[in-house]
Amino acid sequence: MQPNENKWPEMRLTPVGVVRSDIKIPMLTAGDSDLELQDRMEQIREYHRKVQACVCELTIFPQWDELLDGIEGFSHVLVIYWPHLIDPERRTLRKVHPMGRKDLPRQGIFATCSPARPNPVLVSAVPLLERNGNILRVKGLEAVDGSPVIDIKPYAASYYGAENATVPEWMAQLHRELGVDL
C-alpha cells in the first residue's frame, strides 16, 4: 500500500511548546547505516543518571496555555516531542544495533526506541512536579534543549499501563547495565 492510497488528509504537526533542559546534546546520533553511541557504557550510565535527575521546563506557547487547565491534578504526564537534531536524511535507517551497541543484535527500527525513525515522534512518561501558568516542570525527560513539544497527555495507568509486559533479552540487558527497573 502506498502512503496516500487511502486518501488521508495531509498530516501536519504544530509544536505547542518547547523543552528547556540542561541536556544539550543527544546520547545517540544517527549515522549512515546505524546508530552511533557518543560515549562508553560507563559514561552512558552517568548520562542516564543525569537525565533521571534532570528537572526541565516545558514552555507551552501562550495560545495553548488554557489547554493545560486541570493537568496539575496528575502526578505524571506523557510528553510527545520531536527530536529536532536528527537530520531528516538520517531517518532512513531500517535496522540498528540498539543504542549503537555492536554487541547487541540488529533490530528493526520499530523494535527500538531510536530517535532515527520515519516519523521521529518520541514519547516519555515523566513525573509532573509543578505547573506555573504555561510552564510545566517535569523530571527525567530525555529531550534535548529546544526540542519541540508536540503534545502533552495526562498519564493514567488504566489507559497506558500494560500488565505483564515483556521485553526481549537485549533490552533487559541494557536495563540491567543501566541499573533501571523494567
User: What is the per-residue pLDDT across 142-162, written as a single tens digit (0 to 9) for each?
Assistant: 899 999 999 999 999 888 878
Task: With respect to residue 3, please indicate whether it lies within any of the assigned structural domains.
Answer: no
CATH number of residue 33's parent domain: 2.40.30.70
Tell whether the model's pLDDT for residue 175 goes beyond 90. Answer: no
Q: Is residue 4 part of a domain?
A: no
- If one counts the domains in the chain, the total is 1
pLDDT of 111 above 60: yes
Judged against a pLDDT cut of 90, whether residue 110 lies above it is answered with yes
Mean per-residue pLDDT for 104-116? Answer: 89
**Grid coordinates representing 99?**
543504542
What phi-psi label fits residue 27: left (phi over 0), alpha (psi between -120 and 50 degrees) or beta?
Answer: alpha
Judge whether 51 lies within some domain: yes
Query: And the C-alpha cell for 43?
Result: 559514561
Does some domain include residue 26? Answer: yes
Taking 70 as the threshold, does the pLDDT of residue 2 lie above it?
no
Residue 122 lies in a domain: yes
11 lies in a domain? no
Share of the chain above pLDDT 70, in %: 88
| Domain containing residue 156 | 17-178
Cell digits of residue 176: 540491567
Burial 147-174 (b: 16+ CB within 10 A, else e): bbbbbbeebeeeeeeeeeeeeeebbeeb
Question: pLDDT class for 87, splitting at 50, 70, 90?
Answer: confident
52 within domain boundaries: yes
Q: Is the pLDDT of residue 32 over 70?
A: no
Q: How confident is the model at residue 58 (pLDDT cuts 50, 70, 90)?
A: very high
pLDDT at 80: 97
User: Is the CB of residue 28 less than 8 Å from the CB of residue 38?
Assistant: yes
Q: How confident is the model at residue 45, as a pLDDT?
A: 73
Q: In the structure, what pLDDT confidence band is assigned to residue 10 with cuts at 50, 70 and 90? A: confident
Asked whether residue 7 is assigned to any structural domain, the reply reads: no
Distances (CA, A) of 132 to 106, 129, 135, 172: 43, 10, 5, 37
